[in-house]
Amino acid sequence: MSPFVNSDQIRDLFSQSMSAMYRQEVPQYGTLLELVADVNRATLEQNPELRQQLQDAGELNRIDVERHGAIRLGTAEELATMRRVFRVMGMHPVGYYDLSVAGVPVHATAFRPVSDEALRINPFRVFTSLLRLELIADPALRAQAREILAQRRIFTPRALELTLQCETAGGLDARQAAEFVREATQTFRWHGEATVSHDTHRQLLAAHRLVADVVSFKGPHINHLTPRTLDIDAAQAEMPRRGVAAKDVVEGPPRRRHPILLRQTSFKALEEAIVFTGDGAAGAHTARFGEIEQRGAALTGAGRALYDRLLGQVRSMGNAGSTTDDYEARLAAVFAEFPDDLDAMHAQQLAFFRYAVQDQAAFAQAAASDADFDLAALHAQGIVEARPIIYEDFLPVSAAGIFQSNLGGSEQKSYAANAAKELFEAALQERVADEIALYAQSQQASVDALKRAYLALMR
Binding footprint of ligand OOG on the chain (CB under 6 A): 70, 72, 127, 129, 223, 264, 394, 396, 399, 402-403
Q: Give the residue closest to ligand OOG by C-beta.
A: 70
* Complex with Ni ion: residue 78 or 291, whichever CB lies closer: 291
Q: Which is nearer to Ni ion, 5 or 395 (CB)?
A: 395
Which entry of Ni ion, ligand OOG, none binds 86, CB below 5 to 8 A by partner kind? none
Cβ contact 287:272 at 8 Å: yes
Which of 202-210, 236-244, 283-291, 368-376 is the region at the interface with Ni ion (rule: CB under 5 A)? 283-291
Query: CB-wise, 221 or 354, nearer to ligand OOG?
Result: 221
- Quote the least distance from Cβ 78 to Ni ion, whole Å: 20
223 binds, among Ni ion, ligand OOG, none (CB under 5 to 8 A by kind): ligand OOG
- By C-beta, is 72 or 379 nearer to ligand OOG? 72
Which one of Ni ion, ligand OOG, none is in contact with 129 (Cβ closer than 5 to 8 A by kind)? ligand OOG
Sign of the Cα torsion 123, 126, 127, 128 reads negative
Closest approach, Cβ 368 to ligand OOG, in A, equals 49
Closest to ligand OOG by CB, 90 or 290: 290
Q: In angstroms, give the least distance from the CB of 117 to Ni ion.
A: 24
Question: What is the phi-psi region of residue 118: left when phi exceeds 0, alpha when psi lies from -120 to 50, beta otherwise?
Answer: alpha
CB 166 to ligand OOG: min, Å: 27
- Selection from Ni ion, ligand OOG, none that 187 binds (CB < 5 to 8 A by kind) is none
Which residues ranging from 285 to 304 are in contact with Ni ion (CB under 5 A)? 291
| Residue with smallest beta-carbon separation from Ni ion | 291
Instruction: From 23-31, 37-45, 174-182, 284-292, give the range in contact with Ni ion by CB under 5 A.
Output: 284-292
CA distance 96 to 436: 12
For the bound state, the minimum distance from the C-beta of residue 164 to ligand OOG, rounded and expressed in Å, comes to: 28
- Cβ proximity to Ni ion, 201 vs 288, nearer residue: 288
Judged by CB under 5 A, the chain residues 222 through 251 that form the site for Ni ion are 226
**Which partner in ligand OOG, Ni ion, none is near 399 (CB below 5 to 8 A by kind)?**
ligand OOG
When the beta carbons of 250 and 334 are compared against Ni ion, the nearer one is 250
- Residue 105 near residue 135, CB atoms below 8 Å: yes
Rank residues 122 and 203 by Cβ distance to Ni ion and give the closer one.
122
Report d(CA 17, CA 353) in Å as an integer. 33
CB of 84 to Ni ion, least distance (A): 23
Of the candidate spans 30-38, 220-228, 322-330, 333-341, the one that interacts with Ni ion by CB under 5 A turns out to be 220-228
266 binds, among Ni ion, ligand OOG, none (CB under 5 to 8 A by kind): none
Decide whether 70 or 118 has the Cβ nearer to ligand OOG.
Answer: 70
396 binds, among Ni ion, ligand OOG, none (CB under 5 to 8 A by kind): ligand OOG
Residue numbers of the site for Ni ion (CB under 5 A)?
Answer: 226, 291
